[in-house]
Structure 1
């Protein structure tokens, strides 16, 4: 994880410029459909702060973490909220959030620790809370430009889901990257915690 942190610290401004204004409405809608007005959302790996800002503007309460100290500073500056400098491996909260938004963050989680980390996210959700996750589409573990990626396809997503008895799949879908210079596909997952 420190490799990713170093990468994002060194390239914070470029990453911010490349991601903060991406149109995300079509991904927000399925997630927010399951939340009530004023719900509490955790933005896990918030990056530029783009999604914090969107959720705040819609009246949700937002908490956020990121493991890059430079992106934490940028997200705080953009959104005006306190963003915690923390790794998803360190998360330890119980029934605190109505929704967890893990957009393009768990793709840096080591595959053998995915069950552990997702378990922490489920634990952090209130009963009937929803968890959104997105991964680059595929089934490999790879390194690119100094970052490691854990890609996910439908088979591995199903295998992961099967390791938990307290969540159900609401929706699973594939989208294309919204950045004009990227041709990648993304696997989007929406899970709901049992009551």
Structure 2
């Protein structure tokens, strides 16, 4: 009974460690302390954003009451919000067509688990952002690493996150112009 309680506690600590972005040490007290600090930071950010929203709403309300914020149709103008920057899709489909290793990677991932998802975005001339979402299984990371090694893709940086029972692998990979998974030359 005590063993089961400790096992459940450790599982919950592992889950907490997976969602907190910055853990200073791997002991239980540090995980909880860092989680509390992260929650307090998020709460402060939430309060700041709520204050900003209420300030914007009051500004819009005063402008619309004065009539200064109306356009020709009588609809009040809302303040411009910044749009998040997105990477536009390539015009000629070059991100997948120019990189057969990534096509092979997609086939491997979908073949192993049809519910897996692969997203590839071209970042630079030979650099790609690869995001793989797959089931949270014991050997999921090993399979992704083996696929990268087999395709001779150079991983520049990698990030792994556990989300809703699945794992999201986000990697920046460099593709050499001579990459051929069937060749033995490195």
TM-score normalised over the length of structure 1? 0.30
Q: Which has the larger radius of gyration?
A: 2
TM-score normalised over the length of structure 2? 0.31
User: Which has the larger share of strand?
Assistant: 1
Structure with more relative contact order (C-alpha pairs < 8 Å, separation 6 or more): 1
